[in-house]
Structure 1
Amino acid sequence: MLLRPALFLFLSVLASSSPVFSAPTGPPAPHHFLHPRDGPHYNSSLPNITVLATGGTIAGSAGSNTDLTGYKAGQIGIQILIDAVPEIQNISNVQGVQVANVDSSGITPEILLNLTAQAQMALDDPHCQGIVITHGTDTLEESAFFLDLTLRSEKPIVIVGSMRPATGLSADGPLNLLEAITLAADPRAVGRGTMVVLNDRITSAFYATKTNANWLDTFKAVEQGDLGSFIDAKPNFFYSPAVPVGYHFFNVSQSTSLPKVDIVFGYQALDPEMARSAVGKGAEGLVLAGVGAGGWTSAGLDEIHELIREHGTQVVLSSRTMGGFVKTNGTGNIYGSQDLNPQKARIMLQLALNAGYDSNELTKLFSFSE
């Protein structure tokens, strides 16, 4: 395929001369989709897709096309990435919106709330058939889960990233972006919630997780399976649209910040004071990435119960393992994460605290499979 060498040269030159993008400040501007007068490539017979960009490896650049780890994320603007894949013009009319351009470890609650607001505006636009969000892979599953729980629309919502920078040899970003836009434009993708697309896989954002730090085939729902895959860059679904058990919508349209929730990692002879330190620094909730099915040391549990008595801290027990089930045992202010890993349990607890959930409501929320 001739696209790859030309793409590297094109992006290398642009990356070296283009400014670094940062997240816009202030409230998002009203969303209006493309009309024929807005560009020479508009095709009234094609669906309209909005691409909301946040940066990440898919927008990363390096000085060498073989430098696949020492690159800098969030260096290339979304319009450059779209223009570098001309095949997109045969799929849809695309409008790119630069929400942020950061490494995904730099995603903040403020960026997430702004992203959610802009995404909802795009989805509410009657001229828009679906949206795509570009994102770094390191925390993609957190943002994807957040968006799945905070966006309300039957239109396709697709979040996409890459494991190799845009300037890398055999970069995976161009094909991933093409497939994500193709999926967002496909009527069969309606009603499937937020979906994650990488390496020809279509996975539910509710369950998708990054399983390897380096491999292209990293995002999977290990136990639940994929929703579908791509064959010749066209989506092939395995199931009819369905809502994940435990799905819950949270309205954050009036939120300007989110409660602080920290994750504490479990291991042999862990320091019980770690949890107290987190609460002392403002954490309203804690997620314990426990051993096995949410196990925690006796001394650590004593400290947790003290924090609950002193501060009313809300605590979710999860597991540091790749998968597994953690039950809610009925103890006040302590809940099992069910099938949610620690990072997804943190998002769920954060949104619930933001909505003002009390202990009874949290017990119901974290007992969805029981």
Structure 2
Amino acid sequence: MTRDTAAAARQKARIVLIGTGGTIAGRGASPVNTSAYDCSVLSIDDILADLPVADSLADITTEQLFQVGSENFGNVQLLQLGKRIASLLERDDIDGIVVTHGTDTIDETAYFLHLTLKSPKPVVVVGAMRPPSALSSDGPLNLYNAIVVAASRLAHGKGTLVVSNDEIHTARDVVKTNTFKQDAFKSPYGPLGFVVEGKPVFYRLPARPHTVDSEWSINEIEALSHVGVVYAHGGMNDAIVRAILDSGVKAVIYAATGNGNVAVSIVASLVEARKRGIHVVRGSRTGGGVVIRNAAQPDDLYDWLVTDDQPAHKARILMMLALTREHCTRKLQDVFWRY
């Protein structure tokens, strides 16, 4: 090895690539099987082997932590993944982390990491909408871009990121919006930036606290409360609400119609929830906008909360974390305003 080559090798970022399964690790029977395929069958080493240029991007080591579709991710997996990443980030010989993940709940996992990891080092969560066996699979380029972002000093201090379709999204905002298209991931305020010709370019910053400025640390969390989600629809009765209240939840996110509107047939069961010590958080099923406190419902009277702009499934993540430290309704509401 020449002196110049050795210097270049030392300058490469040291990245740990963690595999958890998902479509990016899937395989279909035919190249045209872009939506019907076996999920989570390839190892992280198999995936990396199909991306030989990765060695030029960073000094990469791999770990296979899980091998499951992300619809199977629960609190146990969130905690295990978060604690493993936290231990890796503490090491001086590691500069960043890339997690390959199923797209179904990638936005939930990323948001959890965004709020609980106490390090400015880049953490990038990446998946694919098409398996590696499919024509025009997005997995290889998504992974390439994720490694590029994780290896870049520009990504420091920006929290957990989701990279997909050449876009760089903050974990707080990004949601999956389509079942099969490659541009499935969107943020209501737009991406933070893009990967252009193999280089990350940022145009804005996350506005809400995260990582080192968050009040939660993964190393201090041993368990998460059960928080449920109820999706509203026309003609709804309260049977499903009462069933979820009896399931052991500590809070329920009600994905209501419009600006958090709650039908008359549902109000009594949600009022009862609060009397039983179960927190009620009004959200919206619309996928956009802000739910206004004391507008559609008298939240102060009922001692309910509102989600601000968070979709129900991400409000669930935030509420689970909030309940590890707080139970006062006013302080819990402040959490939704702050994060």
> Is TM > 0.5 for Structure 1 vs Structure 2?
yes
C-alpha distance in structure 2 between counterparts of 1:358 and 1:166, whole Å: 48
Question: Which of 329, 334, 347 pairs up with 2:304?
Answer: 334
For structure 1, the residue ranges without an aligned partner over 5 or more in a row are: 1-41
Name 2:317's counterpart in structure 1. Answer: 347
What is the rounded CA distance, in whole Å, between the counterparts of 2:136 and 2:36 in structure 1? 16
Report the CA distance shift for 1:72/1:257 in structure 2 as closer, same or farther (over 3 A): farther
Report whether the alignment pairs 1:281 with 2:247. Answer: yes
Report how far residue 73 of structure 1 moved: 1.2
Give the equivalent residue in structure 1 for 2:55.
Answer: 89
Q: Which residue of 1 aligns with 2:199?
A: 234
Match of 2:235 in 1: 269
* Counterpart residue type for residue 191 of structure 2: D
Task: Report the CA distance between 1:356 and its aligned residue.
Answer: 3.8
Q: Indicate the residue corresponding to 2:5 in structure 1.
A: none
Deviation of residue 318 (structure 1)? 0.7
**Superposition pairs for residues 352-367 of structure 1, below 5 Å?**
352-367=322-337
- Whole-Å Cα distance in 2 between the matches of residues 155 and 243 of structure 1? 18
Contact 2:305 2:329 in 1 (8 A): no
Contact 2:126–2:142, Cα closer than 8 Å, also in 1: yes
Letter in 1 for 2:168: I
> Which among 75, 85, 89 is matched to residue 123 of structure 1?
89
What is residue 25 of structure 1 aligned with on the other side?
Answer: none
Give the equivalent residue in structure 2 for 1:75: 41
Report how far residue 347 of structure 1 moved: 0.6
How big is each residue's C-alpha offset from its partner over 1:128-152, in whole Å with a ceiling of 9 and x where there is no partner?
1111111111111111111111111
Residues 219-276 of structure 1: CA deviation (Å, up to 9, x unaligned): 1112x1111011112211113x444269843223243432111100111121212111
**Cα distance in 1, alignment partners of residues 120 and 218 from structure 2:** 18
- Match for residue 282 of structure 2 among 317, 323, 327: 317
Q: Tell me if structure 2 keeps the 8 A contact 1:328–1:367.
A: no
- 1:151 paired to 2:79: no
1:219 aligns with 2:185: yes
Q: What amino acid is aligned across from residue 123 of structure 1 in structure 2?
A: L
1:169 maps to what in 2?
135
**1:244 lines up with 2:214 in the alignment:** no
Q: Deviations over 1:190-224 (max 9, x none)?
A: 111111100000011100011111110111112x1
Letter in 1 for 2:289: G
Query: Equivalent pairs: percent with the same residue?
Result: 33
Structure 2 contact 162–174 (Cα < 8 Å) conserved: yes
Aligned with 1:49 (options 15, 22, 36): 15
Gaps of 5+ in 2: 1-7
Letter in 2 for 1:194: T
Using the size of structure 2 for normalisation, the TM-score is 0.92
How many angstroms does 1:328 deviate by?
Answer: 3.1
State how far apart, in whole Å, the 1-side matches of 2:338 and 2:65 are: 34
Q: 1:192–1:243: 8 Å Cα contact kept in structure 2?
A: no
SS of the residue corresponding to residue 288 of structure 1 reads strand
Q: TM-score of the superposition, structure 1-length normalised?
A: 0.84
Contact 1:286–1:314, Cα closer than 8 Å, also in 2: yes
Matches for 1:132-211 after TM superposition, within 5 Å: 132-211=98-177
Q: C-alpha offsets along residues 161-196 of structure 1, whole Å, 9 cap, x if unaligned?
A: 000012111111011001100100001111111111
Q: How many residues align?
A: 325
- Whether the 8 Å contact between 1:132 and 1:158 is mirrored in structure 2 is yes
In the alignment, is the contact (CA less than 8 A) between 2:111 and 2:314 conserved in 1?
yes
Contact 2:142 2:164 in 1 (8 A): yes
Q: Could you tell me how far 1:357 is from its partner in structure 2?
A: 3.3
CA distance in 2, matches of 1:46, 1:335: 47
**Counterpart amino acid of residue 75 in structure 1:** V
Counterpart CA distance in 2 for 1:237 and 1:207 is 16
* CA–CA distance in structure 2, aligned partners of residues 155 and 236 of structure 1: 17
Which secondary structure does the structure 1 equivalent of 2:266 belong to? Answer: helix
Task: Report SS of the residue matched to 2:66.
Answer: strand
| Aligned twin of 1:293 | 259
SS at match of 1:101: coil
Question: AA paired with 2:65?
Answer: V
Aligned residue type for 2:215: F
How far is the alpha carbon of 1:281 from its aligned partner?
Answer: 1.1
Q: Distance in 2 between matches of 1:159 and 1:138?
A: 12
User: 1:157 offset after TM fit, Å?
Assistant: 1.1
Contact 2:326 2:332 in 1 (8 A): no
Are 1:294 and 1:318, in contact at CA under 8 Å, matched by a contact in 2?
Answer: yes
